[in-house]
Every structure is written in structure tokens, then in C-alpha cells.
Amino acid sequence: MARPPAELAPEYHQSVWGVASLAPWFLAPPGTGEVWFPAPGDFPLLVKFIFTSERLSVQVHPPDDYAQTRERCRGKTEMWHILEACEGAAIGLGLTRPVSKEDFRAAAQRGGVEALVNWLPVQPGETYLVPAGTVHAIGAGVTLCEIQENSNVTYRLYDYGRPRELHLEKGLEVARLEPYQGLRSLPLRCEHFHTEELVIERGAEYQPGPAAHLLIAIEGSGTAAGRPLRAGTVLFLEPGTNPFQILPSPRLRLLRTYSPR
């Protein structure tokens, strides 16, 4: 039986830092900050599109071993591919200098964590790996595609006084309180996912190969297997998916990602 690629349905998640409109990417309620694309079964990766009007909390994700023991779930290593960035937009990755747990805890309690975070200006097209244990935050005015381990465990370290739960002690158990040491380019390979960019400027037959993977349209439009394909579309290709035609109109840029495990 022929197996065509499956288009994943978006899930819209509102947040305190969501935006008024996701156009032209998605038709979503005002205040939406994240669009999730869960794949079927126990596929180990999750794709999100993130849109920010304010800074996200300063946070950290645990590695697999800690998350399995304490949360009964996967850990969370992720990557960010920047799609749009307003003037002055920045992301926080790691700290400006190594600090002790005691000094970080004291900074969190007096509202001084922002000054410890290493804020990096960002531009469209840039890519950042965010390994589990990395202290991080996304600034205002950023649109990005996130590829992550399929897990929803997050420890908030600091939230600018918003009335949301913090997880400072758990976070300090897993956080690397040091400058950022991650990768910053495509193709990006780590133990949890491999991600590369595909630029298609003329029609071609796509060969899915034996491994389940995702194709994420991030620029342009066209068709895939005769169905419309536009920025914001995510396709799931299970093992055994048949080759199919991708036709750009006039150009498509995609991310292809899969788990090497």
C-alpha cells in the first residue's frame, strides 16, 4: 500500500507572552505564543513554532537521566532556528560568567538573574543548540522553529515577577551555571536529533529513506505529493513512505529532522 507523507495538525497554545496575530504563518487566537506539531505514536521529537511579544522566563531543562528519575519522562534538549527577529531582538543562552549555586539563588531571590544571563542578538537564519542543563530564555520580538525531545518538562528559574510557579531548587540541581557551549549552525547533529536545511528551487523526487522523520517548511510555498506546502507546514514521514514529488513555487526552504536513536 502506498504511504504518502502525513501533514501534522497544529495545536495552538496561548501564553502570557503570546502575540496578537500569527499571520502570515497561522490563523490562531490572539495571545497564542506556541504552535505545536505532535507526531503520531511515540515519535521522540516535537516541533514547535514560537512567537514572542515579551521575554520568556529564564529556565532550564533536565537531561534524560534526571528527568526519568524525577519526572518519569524524557529530558529536553532542543534547538532553535530563528525565522524572524525584530530590531534589538535577543535570546539568552548560558551565563556571562561561571557562578555558584548560592550566588545564582541569591540573584534569583533579589531579581538579578537577567544580569547574569548572556543575551545574544539574533538574526533570521541563525541556529542554536540548547542542550539540557543550559540556562536559557527567548526575548521579545522573536519567531523561531524549535525542535526538541518530545517532553514538556521545564524548570523556571526566574519569571520577571509574573505570578507563575518557579522551580528554582530543581533547576539548580541540573543547571550548568557557566557560559554557553552549544553549536550554532546547520547541519546540526547531537545525540537526540539530526537537523539539516533543504533548499528546493526546482521540482525533484524526494526519497524518504528508511527512518521516520519530519519535514518542516519554513520559507516559500509549493506542493508535496500533490498537496499544498507552505511555510508553517510540518510533514511526518513514517518508515516505508513512498517517494514523492516536491514542486517549489518558486522556492522552498525546509528543515529535515530525525532521531538517530
The one catalytic residue in 55, 74, 156, 256 is 156
CA-nearest of 108, 67, 110, 113 to 92 is: 113
Q: Tell me the C-alpha distance between 186 and 223, whole Å.
A: 24
Determine, yes or no, domain membership for 1.
Answer: no
Q: Is the pLDDT of residue 73 over 80?
A: yes
pLDDT of residue 103: 97
- What gap in Å lies between CA 152 and CA 34, rounded to an integer? 13
Domain annotation covers residue 43:
yes
Does residue 46 form part of some domain? yes
Question: Do residues 137 and 20 share a domain?
Answer: yes
Q: How far is CA 253 from the centre of its chain?
A: 17
Q: What is the CATH number of the domain that holds 11?
A: 2.60.120.10
Look at residues 189, 153, 187, 10 and name the one whose alpha carbon lies nearest to residue 70. 153
C-alpha cell at 143: 519567531
Asked whether residue 179 is assigned to any structural domain, the reply reads yes
Q: Is the pTM of this model over 0.75?
A: yes
Helices (H), 175-226: none
Residues 50 and 172 in one domain: yes
Residue 240: pLDDT band (50, 70, 90) is confident
* 206 and 104 fall within a common domain: no
Same domain, 146 and 236: no
* Co-location of 251 and 151 in the same domain: no
Residues 33 and 116 in one domain: yes
- The pLDDT, as a whole number, for residue 261 is 87
In this structure, the answer to whether residues 132 and 235 fall within a common structural domain is no
Give residue 243's domain range.
194-258
What DSSP character marks residue 139?
A: -
Q: Is 72 a catalytic residue?
A: no
Q: What is the pLDDT of residues 34-47, one digit of tens each?
A: 999 999 999 999 99
* Residues 116, 224 within the same domain: no
CA gap 159, 54 in Å, rounded:
11
Coil, helix or strand for 116?
A: helix
State which amino acid sits at residue 61: H
Q: Are residues 175 and 227 in the same domain?
A: no
Strands of the sheet with 142-149, listed across from one edge: 11-19, 32-37, 45-51, 142-149, 78-85, 127-130
